[in-house]
Chain A
Amino acid sequence: MQHTGIATLDQLINLLTRLPGIGRKTAQRLAMFVLKSDPDYAQQLAQAVLNVKSEIHFCKRCFNIAEDDLCSICADPKRDVSKICVVEDIVDIMAIEEAHVYHGLYHVLGGAISPLAGTMPEDLHIRELIERVKSEAVKEILMALNPSTEGEATMIYISRLLKDSGVTLTRLASGVPFGSHLEYLDSATIGRAIDSRREL
């Protein structure tokens, strides 16, 4: 690793390198950009970084990002409180919201169980989900986890915990994406869709 020899610049570069997807070279370019930019920009950037941490935090109820105690979805009286959609990550909420078809609440687990990555059930917000099922008026839990071995394991784990809770457990259908042409889909997707076909 080369260093510029200027301690303050090196520190900035080192910190930038820790961001996901940023290598040493890119970090150097970014740091040089900040160095050459006008003082206003550096001020705004630094403040924006601080604000993100001080003013945004996680919703106490569902662990979505929130400006207050509750996120905008939990605070919205029009949402259907009888449904909770369980997702791995905050970005999954954004994706589902864009579809405008789901009007219930969410619960962000913060990942999926993966022993190899050192993530066990107690590292996720699973306990909080079980608490919500007990204390809220939930009728249905929709599992919207990623179609991976880890997502599947997490789903199986949660399903077992909620088996006797009386709520209905549902999961996303694995099938043919709407609007896609069959000929462009890979055969495994088509195969699974045929396996999980429904009566008309």
Chain B
Amino acid sequence: MLVKTLKLQNFRNIAKAVIEFDEKINIITGKNGQGKTSVLESLYYLALTKSFREKADKVVLQHNKEFFNIEGTFLSDRKEELTLRLYFSDIEGKHLFFNKKKVNRFSEMIGRLPVILLSLEDLSLTYGVPQYRRRFLDILLSQVNPLYLQALQYYKRNIMQRNQILSLISEGTEKIDALFPWDVQLIQYGSEIIFNRLQFVRFMNDHLQDNYRQISEEDEKIEVRYKTFLKNADDQITIDSIQEQYESKLSATYRDDIKRQNTLIGPHRDDLLFFKDGFLLKSYGSQGENKTFLIALKFVESAYLKKKNNEIPIFLLDDIFGELDTERIRHLLSYLIREGQTFVTTTLKEKFNTLHLKEENFIKIKNGRMVH
């Protein structure tokens, strides 16, 4: 997908702007608080009808204005010209238009304009708690496989019901036998989730290494492992063998489950571990290495989504160049140029000086206005 033009009205500190983009690299520069992130945010809004930093639409509406409007023209990989427009006003609410036609269900549009965002908050993927990594897996796999989403929903509901039974058993109002119908389903849906995640981990390992080396140009071994209660958990494992192990593990842990009134094993407890040369990245890796890894991970995400809808996503990279040296930035950009269209924000234009970019690749923003 290609963004050709973007028209903004009353969005954050941008009162009015019409921006034409380069087909490959767009570097949005400016001092702090000038509106760089807001430009990325508006593209994200068109793609997903909401912001990545704020829940309420009202917050991005410029102070003392009645409406905001975001309008983009696009060229799909099949060379169709598309337009998307998002309009919001306090009174009329939020409206989305696709090729000038009103879109009734926003969910139909999601995925039409595939975007991959990388901002400093994504560092929680490597540094943060396991929940972030499970969320990463779940969101991505659900987008590509609706059966995964369904299994996940059933699984979550089942865990809630099972935990309730565990409490009742520990209070003495129910017998251990009452777990049975929930355990059967836990094993069924839990195994399906783990199986799919393991297949994706294989996909990651097939791609990550290359992606990482393209940026770092050093011979480092990058590896992802899925941390779970199962033995020999790799992409070769069959669903049957997962179910078998699951069952015997559950019968070994149910007493602890009752004591804690909580289900202690399962995909809701699993994690992803990232390694560089055999050492955990989050504990041993430098900040630059962690960032390099994250970028490589985002490329995997992009490759995976591309498989789904045959459309190369646009990349939004918000302020992530802080710890990266010029070499890595150079490799990253040359990689991105091959991939698709990229939008980058930075306060450090100097970092890009030696990269032989053209004037068209830079967009300077000052106080909400594009300056040339």
Contact = CB atoms under 8 A, between A and B. Distances in A.
A149 B184 CA distance: 11
State the majority secondary structure of interface residues on A: helix
A192 B148 CA distance: 11
Contact of A156 (B150, B161, B168, B185): B185
Chain A, interface size category, equals 20 to 34
Contacts of B147: 187-188, 191-192, 195
Contacts of A150: 161
A129 interface: no
Nearest to B174: A120
A157 interface: yes
Nearest to A190: B146
Interface in B128-178: 145-147, 149-150, 154, 157-158, 160-161, 164-165, 168, 174, 178
Interface residues of B, number: 20
Contacts of B182: 153
B167 to A, nearest CB: 9
Interface in A150-165: 150, 152-154, 156-157, 160
A188 B150 contact: yes
B185 A115 contact: no
A199 interface: no
B181 interface: yes
Contacts of A148: 157
Contacts of B157: 148-149
Contacts of A113: 181
Given A115-B168, A116-B161, A156 B146 contact: no
Contacts of B181: 113, 152-154, 156-157, 160
Given A156-B180, A156-B184, A115 B146 contact: no
Given A114-B161, A188-B147, 7 more contacts: A115-B168, A116-B160, A116-B164, A120-B174, A152-B181, A160-B181, A191-B145
Interface of B: 145-147, 149-150, 154, 157-158, 160-161, 164-165, 168, 174, 178, 180-182, 184-185
Interface of A: 113-116, 120-121, 148-150, 152-154, 156-157, 160, 186-188, 191-192, 195
